[in-house]
Amino acid sequence: MTHKIAGKWFRGVITLLALSGLAAPAGALDMMIWDQNLDTKLAYGESQGGAMHGQIVRDASGGVVILFSRSDLERNRTLYSGLRSRYEGEVRGGQVLIKVPGGLQTLEKFLAGYKLKLELTEISGGR
């Protein structure tokens, strides 16, 4: 009898953890895109389920700084090894370009190398 009660209690705790989001990290990788002077945040994204979900200011353009931040859990893994915390780049026509050795590359192609699909939604705003 005690075994059944303990089993039900354990399942209840697991269910609560899953519903609260505490059982899994919210986002292993965060991304922020700022203007070159780091005055205005132009985009934000968070990895979840194999995609980088986020928002970007609709009329953003020009030189940018792209910052990546890994969760504590992710720092102990190797999924994003080699990813630097800061990159230079540009926004042109709503598309984010990142400077890599050899030139500019779309952020979408860059993140695909880390098995992440880019999903940015445009929002209104401006500099």
Q: Considering the chain, what is the average pLDDT of its residues?
A: 80
User: Is this structure's pTM higher than 0.75?
Assistant: no
* CATH architecture group of domain 29-123: Sandwich (2.60)
Tally the C-alpha atoms within 13 A of residue 58's C-alpha that lie toward its C-beta. Answer: 4
Q: Report whether 83 contacts 114 (CB < 8 A).
A: yes
> How far apart are alpha carbons 35 and 125 in whole angstroms?
13
Residue 4's H or E segment, with its range, is helix 2-20
- In the chain, the percentage of residues whose pLDDT exceeds 70 is 72
Give me the residues paired with residue 63 across strands. 90
Higher pLDDT, 84 or 80: 84
Residue 92's H or E segment, with its range, is strand 86-92
- Listed by start position, the domains of the chain span 29-123
Q: Give the per-residue pLDDT at 20.
A: 38
Q: Which residue has the tokens 């990895």?
A: 47
